[in-house]
Amino acid sequence: MSRSALAIVLAAGDGTRMKSSRTKMLHEVAGRAMAAHVVDTVSRSGVDAVALVVGRDGERVADACALPGVALETYEQRERLGTAHAVLAARAALERGYDDVIVTYGDTPLVTGETLDKARAALEEGNDVVVIGFETDQPTGYGRLLTRDGALYAIREEKDASDEERKVTLCNSGLMAFNGRRALELLDAIGNDNAKGEYYLTDIVEAALAKGGRAGVVMADAEEVLGCNNRAELAELERIWQTRRRRELMLDGVTMIAPETVFLCHDTVIGADCVIEPNVFFGPGVEIADNVTIHAYSHIEGAKIAPGSKVGPFARLRPGAVLHEDAKVGNFCEVKNGDIGVGAKVNHLTYIGDASVGARANIGAGTITCNYDGVNKFRTEIGADSFIGSNSSLVAPVRIGNHAYVGSGSVVTRDVPDNALALARGRQENKEGRAELLRARSLAIKAARKKNGGK
């Protein structure tokens, strides 16, 4: 679209019904603050600038919404005198004279760019104000959009509506767009002659008509414009977002056996022909290439997984985990800041932290990289084609060479050269007949305890 546009995101609400020590704008949907979702959406819809109006926790909200590549300016609403007053907190931005102005809310994170585009298209058709509306068979509590011959002539709050107007099922989402060239003229025309003495943005419709302008409505799905006032509504937003994103991924070629049990983050990337088994959780910063299998009950965050790799079941990949092609991290394994080479296998009951595992290496069950001495963390390097026997502890900093072999049960504290065998455990001794003596002794102790009443 060739027209210039400003998006105003109203994010100054306290959100007292959240019963939280922080503003509701910082509460997360899919691992991202609600207000940041809105900023991301408006920025992707082709606006030239975003004006963020903040109140409580203003600096934290601004930080959460400072997305890469977004021209974001922050304005503070010092007094709470209504929604029109909140929009005018960004007066300096409005004075630049954009063609279009879009007003959104920081607690409506599901709105799509397609809906915002429809509102802008309606402005281009000659409307001065365009309200985003939705249909519902349960309109109680919402403002009604009153239309005549397809044109909007008023927004009527329920308390002010007549019995006939309350039957209207076309409702106001609160989101709207207006002619940027007339924005200040229309906003300044809004008065506060009401019980609360506040300036309501909904009055901009009648202000535009009084000045000979036009107002219209574009439709959105009711779920798309849901707001958030409490934790129950936050959970509903999360459910809708997850359902929407799972469907997008499945349509792009990802198999989810039980999609309702898979939880995604806002930035989760999953390639085609991946299989995601039930009960998998993705935290921030996960990138999964094609043909990867994530088995059930795995938790993945800040990890990159190359084609052909397999993870889980019951695996945890923490930030900095990198799996190269055809790598395997199996059941009850944890990898943190670890690089797992091509074809390497970390099959079960293992911790790999601050370490690199070479191509085709095999890490036996129960292996631990001892990376932390209580103060500092150190790195372990495991060479290509090496074999680490089960129940081994590798005390960092240490290097295991290429094609090296570490015997099971070893505690390795020194580097192991290429092609070497390392044995770091006590020598086994067999005491003939000692087992029989030990059993007899144990039985005697048990009998004595029973005689003394279990003591």
Query: Which residues are part of the catalytic machinery?
Result: 348
CA 455/CA 435 separation, integer angstroms: 25
d(CA 422, CA 406): 5
- Greatest distance between any 2 Cα atoms in the chain: 107
257: left (phi over 0), alpha (psi -120 to 50) or beta: alpha
Radius of gyration, alpha carbons of the chain: 31
Please give the C-alpha separations between residue 325 and each of 73, 208, 315, 344, 415, in angstroms, as whole numbers.
43, 61, 18, 9, 27
Q: Which residues contact 401 (CB under 8 A, 6 or more apart)?
A: 383, 386, 415, 416, 417, 418, 419, 420
CB atoms within 10 A of CB 269: 15
Q: Residue holding tokens 């506040």? A: 198
Nearest to 84 by CA among 156, 15, 172, 184: 184
Q: What are phi and psi of 117, to 5 degrees?
A: -65, -40
- The sign of the dihedral angle between the CA atoms of 188, 190, 193, 195 is negative
Query: What residue ranges in 72-121 does DSSP mark as E strands?
Result: 72-76, 100-105
